[in-house]
Amino acid sequence: MQLFGQALGLGTLGLVAGVIGAVIAALATRSQTSTLTSYVQHFAAGLIIAAATLDLLPEALHLGGGWPLIVGFVLGTAFMLALRSLLTRVGHSHHPGDDPHHDHHGHDDAHGHDAHSPTTATGVNLRLIVALAVVVLIDGAIIGVALSAGGAAALLIAIALSIELLFVAASTAGSTRAGGGSLGTAIGVGTFVAAMMPIGAVLGALVFAGVSAPVLVAGLAFGAAALLFTAVAELLVEAYEIKESTGTIAMAAAGFLVFLLLMMLM
């Protein structure tokens, strides 16, 4: 029971961050702080890469590694690639800093949506919301797996994913407002997506609590692959759409170093 309480608490960090992002985007969908966004995304990417390489994978190797690690890592990568493909087809990839008024092919329509993105009368793109909710659910499950493995860095992983979720929820709420949705609807859909974080964390802890070492190894490797994919294929790709600078690159290194130092202290 204590494990599930911890998972719920860590997942709630993401929920709070997501609600904050959704409120900000719903109130000011066109206020652009692109430079700050790039700095934060680089820092979050550094944290996430460190979480995968300094905590999840070493823990998986300590528990035995071998084929379960390889299979879990391959499955994690394949799953994230499949989700990315799905999100691309519905007109919006999983980029935390997406500009809700611009799609990734460089085309805008009157409401800031891809021409093929189906929206309801309230401005909600249902397929997009569902797909993003699945992504955040997986992110939350990674927290639960880390807790089940006894990883000391579960809190740090939760913080890194919460930073990412802030931008995901903001993008979701902003695109809803741009599509004609009300303030309440925009905040509501952003909150719905963010709520998947604590749900995923509890489910991850529930599924992996007390499992055999090979299954736990596979789960850790799956989570590491998902984290690395999120950092390299999502956060950094989105951040580099803004002109890179020495400062932004240093922020990625700072994120990695902060995670390393906190692990040493813990």
Over residues 142-170, the pLDDT tens digits come to 888 888 877 666 888 888 888 878 877 87
Rounded mean pLDDT of 104-118?
Answer: 42
Does residue 38 fall inside a structural domain?
no
Question: If you ran DSSP here, which 8-state letter would residue 118 be given?
Answer: -
Rounded mean pLDDT of 128-146?
Answer: 82
Q: Output 265 or 128, whichever has higher pLDDT.
A: 265
Instruction: State if pTM tops 0.85.
Output: no
C-alpha 209/C-alpha 216 separation (Å) is 9
User: What sign for the dihedral angle of Cα 234, 139, 89, 92?
Assistant: negative
Rounded mean pLDDT of 111-133?
Answer: 59
Examine the pLDDT at 105 and tell me if it is beyond 70: no
User: What sign for the dihedral angle of Cα 230, 233, 238, 243?
Assistant: positive
Q: Which two tokens stand for residue 148?
A: 């089940």
**Contact 187/173 with Cβ under 8 angstroms?**
yes
How high is the pLDDT of residue 134? 81
**Per-residue confidence at 264, pLDDT binned at 50, 70, 90?**
confident
Does residue 7 fall inside a structural domain?
yes
Q: Which two tokens stand for residue 193?
A: 């997506």
How high is the pLDDT of residue 107? 40
Does residue 239 fall inside a structural domain?
yes
Query: Among residues 84, 92, 187, which one has the least CA distance to residue 138?
Result: 84
**Per-residue confidence at 119, pLDDT binned at 50, 70, 90?**
low
C-alpha 238/C-alpha 41 separation (Å) is 8
**Per-residue confidence at 125, pLDDT binned at 50, 70, 90?**
low
Q: Which two tokens stand for residue 6?
A: 């911890």
Given the structure tokens 């719903």, which residue do they identify?
26
**Across 210-254, where does the E strand assignment appear?**
none
Q: What angle do CA 84, 258, 145 make, to 5 degrees?
A: 50
How high is the pLDDT of residue 101? 42
**Contact 112/67 with Cβ under 8 angstroms?**
no
How high is the pLDDT of residue 102? 44
Could you give the number of structural domains in the chain?
A: 1
In this structure, which amino acid lies at residue 113? H
**Per-residue confidence at 241, pLDDT binned at 50, 70, 90?**
low
Rounded mean pLDDT of 70-91?
Answer: 85
C-alpha 127/C-alpha 117 separation (Å) is 8
How high is the pLDDT of residue 90? 65
> Mutual orientation of helices 34-50 and 246-265 as an angle, nearest 10°?
40
Query: Among residues 8, 44, 250, which one has the least CA distance to residue 167?
Result: 44
Does residue 42 fall inside a structural domain?
no
**Contact 1/165 with Cβ under 8 angstroms?**
no
Examine the pLDDT at 111 and tell me if it is beyond 50: no
**Per-residue confidence at 12, pLDDT binned at 50, 70, 90?**
very high
**Per-residue confidence at 16, pLDDT binned at 50, 70, 90?**
very high
Q: What percent of the chain has pLDDT over 70?
A: 76
Residue 15: give the domain boundaries.
2-24+48-99+127-265
Examine the pLDDT at 86 and tell me if it is beyond 70: yes
**Per-residue confidence at 113, pLDDT binned at 50, 70, 90?**
very low
Does residue 167 fall inside a structural domain?
yes
In this structure, which amino acid lies at residue 30? R
How high is the pLDDT of residue 212? 87
**Per-residue confidence at 197, pLDDT binned at 50, 70, 90?**
very high
Residue-level length of the chain = 266
Average pLDDT, the chain: 78
Helices and strands counted in the chain (H then E): 10, 0
The residues, ordered by sequence, that sit 6+ positions from 19 with a Cβ below 8 Å of its Cβ are 169, 187, 190, 191, 194
Does residue 108 fall inside a structural domain?
no
Does residue 161 fall inside a structural domain?
yes
Give the CA diameter of the chain: 54
